[in-house]
Amino acid sequence: MNLQTPIDDTVQVDFNSPYKLSVNGQLLDAEETFDVFNPATGSVVAKAPNASRAQVESAVAAAKAAQPAWARLSWEERGAFIAAYADALDAHKEELITLLTTEQGKPRHSMATTEVEYAIFWVREVAKRHLKDKVIEDTPDHIVTVSHTPLGVVGAITPWNFPILLGLWKIAPCLVTGNTMVMKPSPYTPLGTLRFGEIAQQVFPKGVLNIVSGGNEQGQWLTEHPDISKISFTGSTATGKKVMASSSSNLKRITLELGGNDPAILLPGTDYKPLIPTLFDAAYGNSGQWCIAIKRLYVHDSLYDDFLRDFVAYAAEKTVGNGMDPSTDLGPIQNTMQYDKLKSLFADVKAQGLSVPLGGEIDDGLAGNFVPITVVDNPPKDSRIVREEPFGPILPLIRWTDLDQVIRDANDTEFGLAASVWGPDRGEAIEVANQIEAGTVWVNEIHIHGIDIPFGGHKQSGMGVENGTEGLQEFTNTKTYMFKKSS
């Protein structure tokens, strides 16, 4: 594993800076601002507006005022606006990619480009979807139909690990179902969201999409606001519980996509060598900063020693560095809060005397938040590296012999977001997958998503789903109509 010295940050990012809030079709300054840092250099790249209480109130009021007219449009009319938004985003794609790498850290040539392009594709495809009314009963005397009506104003709170994708992932289904939105991005990565909020004002009627930035208090103002009908939140389980509690004031609908401690199980007889690049990317992509990353890799005893050797050899060739450098495979940890959590976890691995065949030592003398690719060899099941979600480029490989026990171990967590099972016998692998307690389980593949594939967590990994028909329905109320036919 190679750790680069950070390159000079010579790429200047200035997309009509200073960055502004989007409220009721207008771009607004705020009286206060906060610094946004480049995690690869530690330098301040911009100042973002810290929305005041009055500005958040204005954003909610604008969304509330705009919602009835927006809801009266047909699905096709709303879809046309959303498709036009996708085109507008596409015209600014290169700016958004560079901006994403600058504030988030992920490599520009790989994950940042993929995220922005995939997000635009997602918006364009969701614009084509709609929910159809369902006829429950139709007799000569009576008819019963079920339809889906908008909730009203949706508050969206987005995370720092995939700020572009997960922001647009919420916007498109929210708007196509006839709701309006107030979105607050993470204070660690607000710039891209503010930028695509600015682009949205060129497309949508005023008040349909509003963007306000700030810290925890702006999020709380949204979750407590009586005029917001739903909160869609992606982030940690701890924060999700707070969102759920504060949303109870007016029984808001909530969708929570939270943390995960996702297991992967390699069954005996698996031809693992062709899978190593896939498994590496699934664990370490985005420097491990995604909720569906492999965080525990269970390898059968018959494969373990060879797999460990080959996996470490592959990982050792990868480079951690500044995402603007084309030779970088993994970027920095996005923020110092998460960086400090990883330092604590690495210190615990060392204090417990666990075997670490790759990585293990964080050089906190570097300017950026760089963490080496690290493999932990067969730690005990009660160790922190197995029990906790690290959210960084460190992975425990765990040896197993008994199938029933490894299934119990995989399920022995408060989380239940996703998992994967790998094996030569597809039927056996599916049988194992059926016993895993998670919202998504992949068999002999991983990280496959789709506009029409629902995604959500079990246990403390969340509530509700995103994507698919079920995801669209999350932004609606179910309404039943019953009519007696005239005689």
What lies within 8 Å, CB to CB, of 434 at 6+ separation is none
- 6-258+461-480: which CATH topology? Aldehyde Dehydrogenase; Chain A, domain 1 (3.40.605)
SS3 category, 329: coil
At 486 the pLDDT is 80
Q: Read off the tokens for 156.
A: 């969206």
CATH homologous superfamily of domain 262-451?
Aldehyde Dehydrogenase; Chain A, domain 2 (3.40.309.10)
Residue type, 444: N
- By DSSP bridging, strand 374-377 and strand 394-400 are parallel
- pTM summary value: 0.95
At 485 the pLDDT is 87
Residue type, 148: H
pLDDT in tens, the chain (487 residues): 566 655 544 445 555 568 999 999 999 999 999 999 999 999 999 999 999 999 999 999 999 999 999 999 999 999 999 999 999 999 999 999 999 999 999 999 999 999 999 999 999 999 999 999 999 999 999 999 999 999 999 999 999 999 999 999 999 999 999 999 999 999 999 999 999 999 999 999 999 999 999 999 999 999 999 999 999 999 999 999 999 999 998 999 999 999 999 999 999 999 999 999 999 999 999 999 999 999 999 999 999 999 999 999 999 999 999 999 999 999 999 999 999 999 999 999 999 999 999 999 999 999 999 999 999 999 999 999 999 999 999 999 999 999 999 999 999 999 999 999 999 999 999 999 999 999 999 999 999 999 999 999 999 999 999 999 999 999 999 999 999 988 5
CA distances from 110 to 6, 160, 286, 290, 364 (A): 18, 18, 10, 16, 26
- DSSP secondary structure letters along 197-249: HHHHTTTSPTTSEEE---SHHHHHHHHH-TT--EEEEES-HHHHHHHHHHHGG
At 10 the pLDDT is 45
Helix ranges (H only) for 259-381 are: 276-284, 301-316, 336-351
- By DSSP bridging, strand 418-422 and strand 262-266 are parallel
Q: Over 113-148, what HEC string results?
A: HHHHHHHHHHHHHHCCCCCCCEEEEECCCEEEEEEE
Q: For the chain, what is the largest distance between any 2 Cα atoms, rounded to a whole number of angstroms?
A: 84
Active-site residue list: 257, 291
> Domain residue spans in the chain?
6-258+461-480, 262-451
At 6 the pLDDT is 54
- DSSP secondary structure letters along 240-282: HHHHHHHHGGGT-EEEEE----EEEEEPTT---GGGHHHHHHH
Closest CA to 47 of 9, 11, 13: 13
Q: Read off the tokens for 92.
A: 């600014």
